Structure 1
Amino acid sequence: MNRFFLTFLFSFAIFLLQAAHPGTSDTTQLKPKPVYGKEARVVSYILDNNHYRKLQLNDSLSSAILDSYIGELDNNKTYFLASDIKSFDKYRFQIDDLTRNEDVSPAYDIYKVFRKRYYERMDYVTKHLIGQSYDFTLDEYYETDREKEPWANTTAELDDIWRKIIKSQVLSLKLAGKSQPEIEEALHKRYDRFVKNIDQFNSEDIFSVYMNTITEAYDPHTNYFSPKASDLFKQSMSLSLEGIGARLQFENDFTKIFEVLPGGPAEKSGKLHVNDLIIGVGQGVDGEMVDVVGWRLDEVVKLIKGPKGTTVRLQYLPAETGVNGPSQELLLVRDKIKLEDQAAKKSIINYQVGSRPMKLGVISLPSFYMDFDAYQKGDPNYRSTTRDVKKLIQELQEENVDGIVMDLRNNGGGSLAEAIDLTGLFIKDGPVVQVKNTVNKVEVGMDDDKSVLYNGPLVVMTNRFSASASEIFAGAIQDYQRGVITGESTYGKGTVQTVLDLKRFINDKDEVGELKLTFQKFYRVTGSSTQNKGVTPDIILPSALSSKQYGESSNLNALPWDVIKGTPFQKRSDVNDKVIASLNKFYQERAKYDQNLKQYINETEDLKKSLAETKISLNEAKRRKEMEEAEKKKAMNKDLS
């Protein structure tokens, strides 16, 4: 019940929306199958009648869907001309009516224009730009994020945009030590692959992209799965998949690390982090490093995945130095990620307050898990979050810790029941969460156990990727004034989805897909939703991640934050306003003299600037200077740590 929770949307649906599935080439005639119209009609009916938002597919949504579909095809405005966009306006207020009438032709008409423009661009790049002599002494820039830029009016304008794109890529390869022949060979291979990618895009792929622009007009977690996409989604939920333990997304021609999974090779290396950009993949210790800039996400994943025990090398651009910084190389041994690797773990931090020695127990919780198979089979020793954390708390108590930190950073959620039961270890009893459905019925998730396992000082750590069940737990601990929430504001994913198989509604000889539908919403015991806003910590630590780019609120179609009637609960007096004010004052004072904290604040600010930078200099001297400064800063931070 989460986004990188169910973990498909960024790591998989973006692959659907930004890239093609491998399949039979269908370049001569791209047209919809009759079953696609049936699916569109059924999906629109379900959305109108069963989605939590209670929106109707109308002219207003039709306009938004058209803009979204165009954006999915050409998100950086480098293919379509302004005249093309104007010609598509005939569909602006027609998509709602056409969908109900089983007509999905706009998807194919618009895509045919896109494909024509795509081939034109690839032809221009290979014939006129690769191999051209570039002047790297000029002081010019390429804007990598063109979302707010106007559409090009002429082919000449597009030519100049692509000149800067290729010039930037040539300069990057040159700075990486490539010779001119090597640069030309690399770029020809890259753009030959681009052409192969578009050749493989078939009728089902077009329909899948189009249907997702319709479903996601309701909210970002409502999605259409084509039959192929449904199979891949189910595979992604299986722990039998072997690889490096990272979820990826496609962004502006780069494969970006979206999430590093606990217990996987990437996490254990300590070197690969969220927002790093993978630009090359090599097999084994000395296999060829294959340039993957511009590759489809599924093709990059194929290179990275492999049997357990085999090695893969990654060439990547660290997030802290960005696209202007130097690349690094990392060798990883592929492995399976087991339940044990994702289970709660404890550690103890020894420190001093004055002359007094102190012990802080830390429980790291990557997800809210439960071994449902073992539970259903009646295994008395089945694994679950609450059972494991209970055992760890008892062990920490035996070691006489002075306080406990529950570390929920990067915890994307999981079992709602476990979030409720875990909260129960720290409070006497009472409500933990409220769940409201599409007919406004509210159910309360209760902790009925009057016993309290741990009564001592409690801190809950969160970051921007703490979501769903994590937000329920953190919100309850905060509302009960049971502990102090510290870190970054959480993701803000406060909705619940269910998956509907469309063959329940459609009887056809062709396969049909599935619909993942938002039908419930979470609320805290105070009545405040966790949706969109998330949980705001009592003590806010510096964050490099803007809410405008990361988290639920970054999506314009996200369900809004709202409030319902609270449910009665008994607060404690452990953490009141006076305590929070005192702790914040202490934190501000410590930030003035604590070298480790000052370094963390500086590094966070540097990363924030790097992530916000979208312009790339096309001046060689400036780029070299930027790379040198990035290396110096990195070395200085390493020395301080």
Structure 2
Amino acid sequence: LYLGKLLPAYQIFNTYKTRMNERIKYALSRLDEEFDFTIDESYKIDRENEDWLSTTEELNELWRKKLKHEALNLKLTGKEWENIKETLTNRYKNYHRAILQYKSEEVFQLYLNSFADAIDPHSNYLAPITSENFNIRMKLSLEGIGATLRNDNEYTKVVSIVPGGPAFKADNIHEDDLITGVGQGADADLVDVIGWRIDDVVQLIRGDKGTTVKLSVLRAANGINSTPDTITIVRDKVKLEEQAAQKKIITIREKETDFNLGVIEIPSFYVDFEAKRKGEVDYRSTTRDVKKLVDELKEEKVDGIIIDLRNNGGGALDEAVELTGLFIKEGPVVQVRQSSGAVNVEEDPDPEIAYDGPLAVIVNRYSASASEIFSGAIQDYGRGLVLGEQTYGKGTVQNLIGLDRFVPSAGDKSGQLKLTIAKYYRINGSSTQNLGVVPDIPFPSAIDPGEYGESSQPSALKWDQIETSKYQKYGDLTKVIPQLLEKHQERILREPEFNYLMEDIQQYKETKNKVDFSLNEKVRRQERDEQEAKRKAREEAREKLNGIEIIDKKEVSKKTLKVEDPFLEESGHILADLLLFSQG
């Protein structure tokens, strides 16, 4: 690799492709014969700790059981053999097609990232298409038609239309339509894209704002044997609003008092780097969006605000710093230690504070990186409560390095290198690496920190500590946390939804290590019936609890029995408790 000799990478992949095609060929041939589901045998789905198989006969036996397991899963849904055979045949043909469509740059990315992962889980190579998609996620916009697409056998299917986007405004393409051809311009010839990979079709459809894309479309209502329509759409900038910060207000009743609490959900720490670099005054960012939402909530006179960072995997470091600045006057937010040992302190220099009222932050095990910087700073300053689960523990800094400048002679783009260059430290001196942020009040969790998160990565850097930054705390919430914790524990013990949740967690922990599945239909139906009986018993308990009179079970809507979000509701109760304590 150091010498630039990549032949072994492609030899390894070609061997994989050959072996995989052999397995697919066997699978397709085996589907000519129906399985006997009365035999007592089992299939082990997790072979991580098993020995490697040494003969073709052993491989065939393993794949026979794998196919039988998949077929039984379909049979349990009510499918007959011919339908099962058709479904699995299409599935394995799609596997075969996907392997054949691998490009050389994707093989290179796979090989290079396997090497990088052995050294550091967050240093990796981004091929040109991966790099482009990363940039789209960061700026929450792209230039195209505004449609979500996916493969449906050999066709490209429209899954959804982005509200307000070009396709939405044109109103000439809709959900479930199939795209069969793409042309660049109203008068251009159409390129047949049946059988193409979704990434390649998307690349053809994307384009500069103001340009026209021509599409051949099979209407969902007419079927695949109909004559396709030809349409044109003028590309424009598409804003991915569903991935932006959003707000809502929830009402929590505590001690015969109603509290209106603002909730701001932040899916990621995004910023339009390009627009910011160009000096555009209205560029998109997490902090700017949240500032607007905070101002709106203040106008609506909420009693407190909850920042929801659950499942937020991070993003731009500057955004974490600036977002923290909305809730503190000024001061250090995070310390960054370079590989040389030099420590830089990232500060909020702006004395203005957007919101100084009661605050809580919800996190879970999937909250990482920038989420941990923000929640850690809020906790260190005593500015608000941190609720939920111990966070992921990603405390390293990566930098994106464009590779085009290193290979100027290359005709195509070369992608980017994401390289770990430093570590994050909280202003109290503790690294978030491996440890993450431990909440002030923990919620029940099904996730074992040793099984998911930075601490589960063999090549991850270890936790350590440096000197504390100089900062002034806003308050000492540690004095009231024991009382809040006591009330929280009392509440979840008497709250039915948390009791159900604890049952789910216990069941998950008991069954997560199950790797052997029976291939006997009678046994599997019995297992399924037992699970279904538990589910129905729970639904009936909820109906009784909510005072719902059910005449016909089939008429019960999913919305009726839906539990909105017990964790968010409990977070609201905790913040309401804090408000009551502060009022004496």
Name the CA shift for 1:376/1:244 in 2 (closer, same or farther; >3 Å).
same
**Cα distance, 1:168–1:230 mapped onto 2, change above 3 Å:** same
Q: Deviations over 1:502-541 (max 9, x none)?
A: 3433465565453221212211111212223221111111
Q: In structure 1, what is the equivalent of residue 170 of structure 2?
A: none
Q: Which residue of 2 aligns with 1:171?
A: 72
Alignment: residue pair count = 481
Structure 2 letter corresponding to 1:196:
R
Q: Name the residue aligned to 2:117.
A: 216
Aligned twin of 1:192: 93
In the alignment, which of 464, 483, 490 is matched to residue 391 of structure 2? 490
Which of 438, 443, 447 is 1:545 aligned to?
447
Aligned pairs for 1:252-267 within 5 A: none
Could you give the per-residue CA deviations for residues 191-236 of structure 1, whole angstroms, max 9, x where no partner exists? 3333334434455443332222222222122222345554565566
For the 8 Å contact 2:178–2:219, the answer to whether it is kept is: no
Structure with greater Cα Rg: 2
Alpha-carbon deviations, 1:580-607, whole Å to 9, x = none?
2222222222222122332333344455
Trace 1:345-364 onto structure 2 (pairs within 5 A): 345-364=246-265
In the alignment, the residues of structure 1 paired with residue 437 and residue 196 of structure 2 have an alpha-carbon distance, to the nearest angstrom, of 32
Deviation of 1:610 after TM superposition, in Å, equals 6.2
Task: Provide closer, same or farther for how the CA distance between residues 131 and 536 of structure 1 changes in structure 2, counting only shifts above 3 A.
Answer: same
* Counterpart check, 1:284 vs 2:186: no
Q: Structure 1: which amino acid aligns with 2:309?
A: L
SS in 1 for 2:477: coil
Name the counterpart of 1:114: 16
Q: Is the 8 A contact 1:434 1:442 kept in 2?
A: yes
SS in 2 for 1:101: coil
Identical amino acids, percent of aligned pairs: 45
Letter in 1 for 2:449: S
Between 1:447-456 and 1:346-355, the stretch displaced more is: 447-456
- Tell me by how many angstroms 1:443 deviates: 1.0
Matched, 1:566 2:450: no
**How many Å separate the matches in 2 of 1:510 and 1:397?**
53
Deviation (angstroms), 1:165? 0.3
Distance (whole Å) between structure 1 residues aligned to residue 265 and residue 51 of structure 2: 46
Q: Which residue of 2 aligns with 1:556?
A: 458
Change in Cα spacing, 1:631 to 1:504, as seen in structure 2 (3 Å) is same
Task: Name the CA distance, whole Å, in 2 between partners of 1:505 and 1:232.
Answer: 22
Residues 123-154 of structure 1: per-residue CA shift (max 9 Å, x gap): 33333x22334332334322222222211133
Deviations 1:162-205 (A, max 9, x none): 11101112212222333222322333333333333443445544
- Conserved in 1, the CA contact under 8 Å of 2:149 and 2:198? no
* Alignment map for 1:193-592 (pairs within 5 Å): 193-201=94-102, 203-227=104-128, 229-230=130-131, 239-240=141-142, 242-244=146-148, 284=176, 299=198, 338=239, 340-370=241-271, 384-506=285-407, 508=409, 511=412, 512-576=414-478, 578-592=479-493
CA offset at residue 477 of structure 1? 0.8
- Unaligned ranges ≥5, structure 2: 152-159, 165-173, 180-194, 207-214, 222-235, 543-562, 564-584
- In the alignment, the residues of structure 1 paired with residue 122 and residue 351 of structure 2 have an alpha-carbon distance, to the nearest angstrom, of 36
CA contact 1:284–1:310 (8 Å) conserved in 2: no
Is contact 2:247–2:264 with CA below 8 Å preserved after alignment? yes
Deviations 1:296-354 (A, max 9, x none): 99659979x999999999xxxxxxxxxxxxxxxxxxxxx99735444433333223222
| C-alpha distance in 1 between matches for 2:499 and 2:26 | 50
Distance 2:41 2:327 in 1: 58
The secondary structure found in structure 2 opposite 1:360 is: strand
Residues 414, 139 of structure 1: alpha-carbon distance in 2 compared, 3 angstrom cutoff: same
What letter is aligned with 1:151? W
Q: Distance in 2 between matches of 1:337 and 1:613?
A: 44
Q: Is the 8 A contact 1:524 1:530 kept in 2?
A: yes
Match of 1:84 in 2: none
CA distance in 1, matches of 2:456, 2:104: 31
> 1:279: which partner in 2?
none
Distance 1:286 1:338, change over 3 A: closer
Determine the C-alpha separation between the residues in 2 that align with 1:353 and 1:340: 34
Give me the whole-angstrom Cα distance separating, in 1, the residues matched to 2:99 and 2:435. Answer: 39
The aligned amino acid for 1:284 is D
Q: 1:243 to 1:168 in 2, by over 3 A?
A: farther
Counterpart position of 2:82: 181
Rounded to whole Å, the distance in 1 between the matches of 2:398 and 2:510 is: 35
Distance 1:350 1:210, change over 3 A: closer
Q: Out of 28, 34, 39, which is 1:126 matched to?
A: 28
The residue aligned with 2:188 is none
**d(CA) in 1 for partners of 2:323, 2:303:** 20
Corresponding residue number in structure 2 for 1:81: none
> C-alpha distance in 2, partners of 1:529/1:569?
17
After superposition, the Cα gap between the structure-2 partners of 1:221 and 1:179, relative to the gap in structure 1 and judged at 3 Å, is same
* Contact 1:243 1:306 (C-alpha < 8 Å) held by counterparts: no
Q: CA deviation at 1:427?
A: 2.6
Task: Report the 3-state secondary structure (helix = DSSP H, G, I; strand = E; otherwise coil) of the residue aligned with 1:177.
Answer: coil
- Relative to structure 1, is the Cα distance of residues 285 and 626 closer, same or farther in structure 2, using a 3 angstrom cutoff? farther
Supply the RMSD in Å over aligned alpha carbons.
Answer: 4.0
Of 467-476 and 219-228, more deviation after overlay is shown by 219-228
Q: Does the alignment pair 1:162 with 2:63?
A: yes
Q: Look up the match of 1:595.
A: 496
**1:480–1:572 Cα contact (<8 Å) kept:** yes
Higher RCO (CA < 8 A, seq sep 6+): 1
1:617 and 2:518 matched: yes
Q: Decide whether aligned partners of structure 1 residues 406 and 507 sit closer, same or farther in structure 2, where only a CA change above 3 A counts.
A: closer
- The structural deviation recorded for 1:286 is 11
Residues 494, 531 of structure 1: 8 Å contact kept? yes
Q: Does the CA-based 8 Å contact 1:526-1:567 persist in structure 2?
A: yes
Q: CA deviation at 1:499?
A: 2.6
CA distance in 2, matches of 1:264, 1:603: 36
Give the equivalent residue in structure 1 for 2:210.
none
On the 8 A contact 1:243/1:336 being kept in 2, the answer is: no
Q: 1:406 to 1:513 in 2, by over 3 A?
A: closer
Checking the alignment, whether the CA contact within 8 Å between 2:137 and 2:270 is kept in structure 1 is: no
Deviation by residue 1:582-638 (Cα, 9 ceiling, x = unmatched):
222222222221223323333444556666544433121232234344444445555
> Which ranges in structure 1 are unaligned for 5 or more consecutive residues?
1-98, 249-260, 266-281, 288-295, 314-334
> Which AA in structure 1 matches 2:358?
P
- Secondary structure of the corresponding residue to residue 480 of structure 2: helix
Amino acid at match of 2:475: S
Alignment partner of 1:544: what SS?
Answer: coil
Conserved? CA contact 1:498–1:517, under 8 Å: yes
Amino acid paired to 1:444: V
Q: SS at 1:100's partner residue?
A: coil
Deviation at 1:564, TM superposition (A): 2.1
**Are the structure 2 counterparts of residues 159 and 483 from structure 1 closer, same or farther at C-alpha, using a change threshold of 3 Å?**
same
Letter in 2 for 1:479: D
Superposition TM-score, scaled by structure 2 size: 0.71
Q: Deviations over 1:478-518 (max 9, x none)?
A: 11122111012222222222232334334655654532212
